[in-house]
Amino acid sequence: MLKSSDQPVTCLSEILDNIDCTDLLHSLDGGVLLLDRRCRIIFCNRWMIKHIGLQEDEILGNTLAQLYPGQLAPALQDAIENACLNRMGRLLSYQLHKRLLPLKQRNPNGELRPLHQSILIRPLSQSNLTLVQCHDITNAVKREQHLRANERILRLERKVLELIATGDNMDEVLIEICTTVENLIPNTSCAVLLMNEDGKSLSVKSAPSLPHHFKQRQKGLQFGPTGTSCIQAIRHRSLVISPDLQNDEHWQPLLDEARQLDIGACWAQPVIAAYDEVLGVLACYPKSPSTPSEANKLLLQRMSNLTAISLERHKRIERIRFLAMHDPLTGLPNRSLLNELLGRNLRRAHREDNKFALMFIDLDGFKEINDCHGHDAGDDILSVLSGRMSQQLRGTDTCARIGGDEFVVMLETIATVETAEAVAQKILSCLNAPVQRGQLQLQVSASIGIAIYPDHGISADALLTHADDAMYKAKAAGKNCWQRADQSSSTD
């Protein structure tokens, strides 16, 4: 059939002979210019005419410098002259020259966007002419930006996961997350807001690029009937976008502040942990009104996941720390924490020349309650009595549970020995009051031994031993009383 294919060479040359070279150049999807030795444009293809935006006769005969007075990149100007006059071929790449020709094109939405380009300048060897080719690399730039953005996110995710794996540095991780969002979504500020323990308000946890007063002001952002974007995000458990704060009714009371902070919009992504628990909000505040792109939304989602991992990890470590230092039944400090606090108080009392008191408390009759009413009853008694004892103390004092029914109370400073004795008396009374459990009334009493720093010792061991001995003296003296370490005393 295709007999002509037997002689392709002849055919091709025949075809080429009949082709109008100008037509060919006009049909190319890319810019072509031909320049003479004085850099003047003697040909401009259709693509180039369209993107320059002038009539062909306005272009021909001019140099590019004349078409774009004061707008032509010096490197491009040099390269064109060097090619036209000195016959040196040149490539101008996008990465080294972000702005070459001020060409524009319309995107699918009809908006004019700058056209990213690279330019090849080739002196033609058979003539004095120079060929300028302009490649539209907008799509390649987009792909590259996408690749880089993804790589940055991946690198951050890896960094955060490493931070999480190696230690507890939540603040650092949250700053890193905010900074990444700000880097990848230009002209924004980012903050992490956490749900307060009351479950009804939010506090700013991290906002590296917002002024300090923002952290203060947002402390306790209440859940009103409407609420700002962040509170709505928590309520809806999904991204809430407020594209223009000026025209958002929920933001009207906060507009002055928004103006001060230079924020024009708010995109709030809830931070949701395992089992659907809402921990807080990752908030991105663009400087001017805008909505997030799909890529922005994906970034916020990924960053909020990392935030959740970091927060959960932090909570778990805090919990482990708490459990290691506290008695799980009563929530009181355990022996380890008591030793730490006692050591600290010893150093301080020594430095400041203070007195302080240590009381060893052992319940009387506790074993019988356990035996008659079971361990649950015993546990309840311990919980209730722990609460009562703590109420008798100042915030700076310590009540620790160091054994089954053994407690140690440390009064951080005392003016006189009598102060300690008065507290011991109050503790005796509160422990001796009956505990209602269903229909039952359970009652115990306590024996208390008091040791005073520095009167009875200046070391933790000496003080604890003296207090313990005094407690046994109280037991021997008939229980439900207190004894000082060096002298006998009864308060019955």
What residues make contact with another protein under the rule CB under 8 A? Answer: 75, 82, 86-96, 118, 120-123, 125, 137, 140-141, 143-144, 147-148, 151, 155
CB of 135 to another protein, least distance (A): 9
Length in residues, the chain:
492
CB of 86 to another protein, least distance (A): 7
User: What is the DSSP secondary-structure string of 219-270?
Assistant: TTEE--SS--HHHHHHHHTS-EEES-GGG-GGGGGGHHHHHHHT---EEEEE
CB of 39 to another protein, least distance (A): 17
| Residue closer to another protein, measured from CB, 142 or 219 | 142
Angle at alpha carbon of residue 189, lines to 183 and 193, rounded to 5°? 115
The token duo for 270 is 């809830």
CB of 149 to another protein, least distance (A): 12
CB of 408 to another protein, least distance (A): 56
**SS3 category, 209:** coil
| Residue closer to another protein, measured from CB, 184 or 279 | 184
- Tally Cβ neighbours within 10 Å of residue 175: 17
Which residues, other chains included, contact 13 with Cβ-Cβ below 8 Å and sequence gap of 6+? none
The residue behind tokens 């005392």 is 414
What is the C-alpha separation between 88 and 229, in angstroms, rounded? 59
CB of 123 to another protein, least distance (A): 6
Torsion, Cα 451 454 457 458, to 10 degrees, reads 130
| Residue closer to another protein, measured from CB, 120 or 377 | 120
CB of 26 to another protein, least distance (A): 22
What is the C-alpha separation between 170 and 306, in angstroms, rounded? 11
The token duo for 285 is 């505040």
CB of 89 to another protein, least distance (A): 4
| Residue closer to another protein, measured from CB, 116 or 473 | 116
What is the C-alpha separation between 202 and 221, in angstroms, rounded? 5
What is the C-alpha separation between 284 and 264, in angstroms, rounded? 11
Amino acid identity, residue 334?
Answer: N
Amino acid identity, residue 193?
Answer: L
| Residue closer to another protein, measured from CB, 120 or 430 | 120
| Residue closer to another protein, measured from CB, 141 or 325 | 141
- CB 362, CB 406: distance < 8 Å: yes
| Residue closer to another protein, measured from CB, 75 or 295 | 75
| Residue closer to another protein, measured from CB, 121 or 258 | 121
| Residue closer to another protein, measured from CB, 78 or 368 | 78
Which residues, other chains included, contact 54 with Cβ-Cβ below 8 Å and sequence gap of 6+? 67
CB of 144 to another protein, least distance (A): 5
